[in-house]
Amino acid sequence: MLLGCIADDITGATDVALMLNEAGMRTVQVMGVPRSPAARAVFDDFDAVVVALKSRTIPADEAVAQSLEAARALQAAGARQLLFKYCSTFDSTPQGNIGPVAEALLEEVGGDLAIVCPAFPANARSIYMSNLFVGAQPLAESPMKDHPLTPMRDSNLVRVMQAQTRARVSAVTHAVVAQGVNQVREALAVARENGERFVVTDAISNDDLLVLGAAVNAMALVTGGSGIAMGLPANFERAGLLKRGAVAAKLAAIPGRGAILAGSCSAATRTQIEHAQKAGLPTQAVDAHAIAKGALTPAMVAAWAAEQAAAHPVLVYSSAGPDAIAEVQAELGREAAGALVETFFGDLAMALVDAGVTRLIVAGGETSGAVVHALGIEALDIGPAIDPGVPWTRAVAGGTPGLALACKSGNFGAADFFTKAWALLDEVQP
Ligand code: ADP
């Protein structure tokens, strides 16, 4: 293993694993620090290992403890460099968790400087003059300003990061990045001499990310979004440590049925549901009130799915508009409503897999976490991209080995995501 990655949520982990895979590293994603010997054994078969945590919004000290545990496991398995991966919209609060985790990891690896670069131009996240943009909007004017857990009200990442860490934070601007690798290295050396420990780096294009990736080749810790991973594999290749493999165009999937579980209420997912309905997929809406009353159970939905013609995947969704969500939340409480629906999808996933589903798409970060947990999946092999940031994956350790799974962050993917994804699977015998 060459590169160890610690991601603060599950769909973010898949996103960075895809990026590394496409850049030529054989990559596996594990759910938390693996406990079973089988899951740890897979470390040796891959160039990069991504540990998926669920540490974005938990108390900062717990996020630090989990991240350090992951760092130690990755280093013990031979990782030469660590990447701390967080959201491309820098989802965090003044309490953390990006600052405290980055600080603890830097100390753990014995490093004195790390870059901070959540830019992901392919998904319209860019950094200029240390300000993060979502498309044309500064972060603080984007929908992220109203995020329920991590509202982002300042677009300047030097200020945002500085509020979360005791270490000194500075910046390398685009004018420097545009001059190339040597100039970036010089600017980072100056920052180091000045006692700065975190440097926010501008990046508005993939070329900028490649320059930055090359410039940090000798750093023990890199922090950023999935975009910054793009330039890291080339460093290992230049050092003669990595022989790039070709990315498979398809993922091997064992025969069986397909199902889509959508628990995300994001605009992109709701558009994808409408598109799938128009394309003729059998769909079933699940209502949180009915779940709460016991009037709708996972067994009932699984029975409905079994009655549908096998030619199409079935789609089950709880996704609803803001008014309907607000009504349910007022009645049940925000967290309880979310947990109720997540548990339902976890149980439904188990029932569907028991009934012969071998290909599963899950929409929603938290929903994906619930499903992966319910299915007991410990490790995922990364396959081809369906859309930027969302690959097919295959369960390789833990429950349901061989299951083809695509976990989609709510807002990712084009309108035809639920219908086009299946063509990337290649039927093989188990
Ligand atoms: P996203 O990636 O879009 O943020 P998530 O799955 O992370 O999607 O979050 C969606 C949350 O909304 C989950 O906790 C889910 O259980 C909850 N949810 C989904 N449908 C409903 C609903 N109809 N009523 C209330 N909460 C819901």
Tell me which residue has its CA closest to atom 17 in ligand 1: 338
Task: Taking residues 102-112, report their average pLDDT.
Answer: 97
Reference 153, options 103, 95, 204, 94; nearest CA is 94
Q: What pLDDT score was predicted for residue 123? A: 87
Q: Which amino acid is at 361?
A: I
Residue whose tokens read 């600052």: 99
Q: What pLDDT score was predicted for residue 216? A: 98
Distance CA 33, CA 59 (A): 18
Element (H, E) at 126: strand 125-128
Asked if 81 and 2 count as a contact pair (C-beta separation under 8 A), the reply is yes
Q: What pLDDT score was predicted for residue 61? A: 97
Q: What pLDDT score was predicted for residue 430? A: 74
Asked if 86 and 10 count as a contact pair (C-beta separation under 8 A), the reply is no
DSSP β-ladder status, 48-52 and 27-31? parallel
Task: Taking residues 365-394, report their average pLDDT.
Answer: 93
Q: What pLDDT score was predicted for residue 326? A: 87
pLDDT tens-digit map of 174-233: 999 999 999 999 999 999 999 999 999 999 999 999 999 999 999 999 999 999 999 999
Asked if 359 and 257 count as a contact pair (C-beta separation under 8 A), the reply is yes
Q: What pLDDT score was predicted for residue 146? A: 80
What pLDDT band is residue 255 in, cutting at 50, 70 and 90? very high
Q: Which amino acid is at 97?
A: N
Distance CA 208, CA 219 (A): 18
Q: What pLDDT score was predicted for residue 399? A: 82
Residue 365 alpha carbon, nearest atom of ligand 1: 7
DSSP state of 245: P
Distances (CA, A) of 149 to 13, 61, 91, 199: 19, 17, 9, 26
62, pLDDT greater than 90: yes
Q: How many CB atoms lie within 10 A of CB 417?
A: 24
Mean of all residue pLDDT scores within the chain: 94
Q: Which residues of 229-265 are buried (b: 16+ CB within 10 A; e: fewer)?
A: bbbbbbbbbeeeebeeeebeeebbbbebbbbbbbbbb
CA dihedral defined by 224, 229, 235, 236, rounded to 10 degrees? 120
Q: What pLDDT score was predicted for residue 429? A: 79
Distance 84 CA to ligand 1 centre (A): 26
Q: What pLDDT score was predicted for residue 183? A: 98
Answer left, alpha or beta for residue 32, where phi above 0 means left and psi between -120 and 50 means alpha: left
Q: What pLDDT score was predicted for residue 242? A: 93
Distances (CA, A) of 15 to 19, 141, 391: 6, 25, 8
Element (H, E) at 98: helix 98-108
Q: Ligand 1 in contact with 346 (CB < 6 A)?
A: no
Listed in sequence order, the residues at least 6 apart from 30 whose beta carbon sits closer than 8 Å to its beta carbon are 39, 42, 49, 50, 51, 52, 378, 379, 380, 397
pLDDT tens-digit map of 163-173: 999 999 999 99
What pLDDT band is residue 22 in, cutting at 50, 70 and 90? very high
Question: Above pLDDT 90, what percent of the chain?
Answer: 79
User: Ligand 1: which of 341, 368, 408 to mutate, judged by most atoms within 8 Å of the beta carbon?
Assistant: 341
Q: What pLDDT score was predicted for residue 143? A: 82
Q: What pLDDT score was predicted for residue 411? A: 82
Asked if 228 and 88 count as a contact pair (C-beta separation under 8 A), the reply is no
Q: Ligand 1 in contact with 413 (CB < 6 A)?
A: no
73, pLDDT greater than 90: yes
Distance 320 CA to ligand 1 centre (A): 9
380, pLDDT greater than 90: yes
Tell me which residue has its CA closest to atom 11 in ligand 1: 338
Distance 299 CA to ligand 1 centre (A): 21
Distance 169 CA to ligand 1 centre (A): 35
Q: What pLDDT score was predicted for residue 3? A: 97
Read off the tokens for 96: 């953390």
Task: Taking residues 80-109, report their average pLDDT.
Answer: 96
112, pLDDT greater than 90: yes
pLDDT tens-digit map of 308-363: 988 899 999 998 888 888 898 899 988 898 999 999 999 999 999 999 999 999 99
pLDDT tens-digit map of 277-298: 999 999 999 999 999 999 999 9
